[in-house]
Amino acid sequence: MGNENTDTRPRVRRWWARAAFVAAFGAAATPIAFAGLFGTAAVLAVGIGGVAATVAASYWFLTSHGVLRAISSVLVVLAPIVVLVLLLRADLLWAVVLSCVLLLAAVLCARAALGEPEKNAMPEYTAPAPRRPFLLMNPRSGGGKVAKFGLQRKAEDLGAEVILLDGPENADVAALARRAVERGADLLGVAGGDGTQALVAAVAAEHDLPFLVISAGTRNHFALDLGLDRDDPATCLDALADGVEVRVDLGWMNGHPFVNNASFGVYAELVQSPAYRDDKTGTVLEMLPELLDRHRGYLLTVEIGDVTVGGPQAVLVSNGPYRTGDLVGMGRRERLDDGVLGVVTMSVNSAREAVGLLQGAHARGVSTARAAEVVVDADQSVIPVGVDGESRMVRTPVVCTIAPAVLRVRLPRHRPGALPKKPGIELARLYRLTGWPTGFSQRNRVPRG
């Protein structure tokens, strides 16, 4: 009877692990087996030449304007095509394709062996529904989402007091929130951009009141990382009747709160561009050549704990580390309750490093770190800083800190969900799962970084 309930998962994982190594060996052996050593060398030469041409063209595209940028964009497209044509003429394309398929199979088998992604959800707490919720709504935010989704009427039907930010008298959102607390509000919320969210969130944290995020802004990265529905902000209002709470961190920059990030250098200058809000990617591509070539107006120095980074061209300090070490804060954060700042610094000193920026956190010249405090100084007394996507002029030195678990965020019970955590592929662990002799695994184990 006991054998009937034996867990077969270790056995299944063992075979997935073995399949991963067999597929990886097949991916490496296929070109040699069918093209020979000479043919494999030719394949590698063609591939390396194509990559080199693509990298060079990408660099010209990133760092130039006009005709040269147009020519380089054509080369970026043509180089891979030329490689494919040469492989076809040599009758080697099928071997390369088969090798890539086997490599993909190896990755899939390895992930199956190491385990499925697990929800990396923050702890949720049951809390009573608010009796006097107070909400601020920006009717212009997100292209008019407040009116489009009828947020004011729906919120008022649920018993909330709603103030529209439609005039200069309602410009000071923090003051409006404080007056609402004085009148007895037991929840504060915002339908608007992340910059407005941060200001009101700070008031909620100060008074230990729950805070409601309504995803009515343009980007709503904070709402995204909370698992909220950005396509239908009205679903966020469900939290007023049936909600749960999570405790999240709040970032501070020289006394100014941020829910996403504070950015310095190249990115801060990009945020100052009037076109940035409407077309972030296009603005980056348009301004990057000048910024990389002429960004010498002020010299940054960053202190991250006991480490000093001198002269970076861009610095991103985030309320919790981004999942990919994203350079401009457009990625995602797995958690918002780790109690640390995420730090990304970028230093570009060569063409290779400029092209490598496309690789994000894996690029040469890009470093990532975690810290409770980050100090950004400059050789000027005032520098531009992008705070939650909005530009501010700030006196140096700029001190960024994290306030752990100070913000009570009220969320609807049913929402798209938090970001699943992708497991990395650890070769040593994968080899141990195969059940094969461990001597090879021990000798070749790669130390964790």
357 or 303, which is more confident: 303
10 or 403, which is more confident: 403
What is the pLDDT, as a whole number, of residue 331?
64
What is the pLDDT, as a whole number, of residue 395?
95
Q: In angstroms, rounded to a whole number, what is the distance separating the alpha carbons of residues 379 and 244? A: 47
Q: In angstroms, rounded to a whole number, what is the distance separating the alpha carbons of residues 393 and 380? A: 12
pLDDT digits (tens, 9 = 90+) for 104-147: 888 888 888 877 544 556 888 888 999 999 999 999 888 889 99
pLDDT digits (tens, 9 = 90+) for 215-242: 988 778 899 889 888 888 999 999 999 8
The mean pLDDT value of the chain amounts to 78
Q: In angstroms, rounded to a whole number, what is the distance separating the alpha carbons of residues 83 and 88? A: 9
**Please, which pLDDT band fits residue 289 given cuts at 50, 70 and 90?**
low
393 or 297, which is more confident: 393
pLDDT digits (tens, 9 = 90+) for 19-78: 888 888 877 777 666 655 555 566 667 666 766 777 677 666 666 667 777 887 787 788
As a whole number, mean pLDDT of residues 416-430 equals 60
Query: CA 130, 336, 327: angle at the middle one, nearest 5?
Result: 135
Among 6, 424, 409, 443, which residue's Cα sits nearest to residue 210? 409
Among the listed ranges 108-122, 127-141, 331-345, 389-403, which one has the minimum average pLDDT value? 108-122
Which residue has 């309750």 as its token pair? 337
**Please, which pLDDT band fits residue 262 given cuts at 50, 70 and 90?**
very high
What is the pLDDT, as a whole number, of residue 6?
45
261-406 classified as CATH 2.60.200.40: yes
Count the neighbouring beta carbons within 10 Å of the beta carbon of residue 181.
16
Q: In angstroms, rounded to a whole number, what is the distance separating the alpha carbons of residues 352 and 348? A: 9
Q: Label residue 379 exposed, middle or buried (CB < 10 Å: 0-12, 13-18, 19+).
A: exposed
* DSSP H or E stretch at residue 3: none
* DSSP H or E stretch at residue 267: helix 266-272
What is the pLDDT, as a whole number, of residue 23?
84
Query: CA 406, 411, 415: angle at the middle one, nearest 5?
Result: 140
How much of the chain, in percent, has pLDDT values that exceed 70?
70
45 or 375, which is more confident: 375
What is the pLDDT, as a whole number, of residue 365?
66
Architecture of the domain made up of 125-246+408-419: 3-Layer(aba) Sandwich (3.40)
As a whole number, mean pLDDT of residues 338-353 equals 78
pLDDT digits (tens, 9 = 90+) for 200-211: 999 999 999 999
The one-letter amino acid code at 305 reads: G
Query: CA 43, 48, 52: angle at the middle one, nearest 5?
Result: 150
How much of the chain, in percent, has pLDDT values that exceed 90?
33
Q: DSSP string covering 294-325, please?
A: H--SS-EEEEETTEEEES-SEEEEESS--TT-
Q: Roughly what angle, to the nearest 10 degrees, separates helices 66-89 and 93-114?
A: 100
395 or 23, which is more confident: 395
For the chain, the distance separating the N- and C-terminal CA atoms, rounded to the nearest angstrom, is 46
**Please, which pLDDT band fits residue 368 given cuts at 50, 70 and 90?**
confident
Give yes or no for residue 418 having a pLDDT over 80: no
What is the pLDDT, as a whole number, of residue 312?
86
* DSSP H or E stretch at residue 95: helix 93-114
The neighbouring-strand residues paired with 411 are 244
Strands 373-378 and 118-119: unpaired
pLDDT digits (tens, 9 = 90+) for 161-190: 999 988 776 679 999 999 999 999 999 999
242 or 427, which is more confident: 242
Q: In angstroms, rounded to a whole number, what is the distance separating the alpha carbons of residues 358 and 327? A: 9
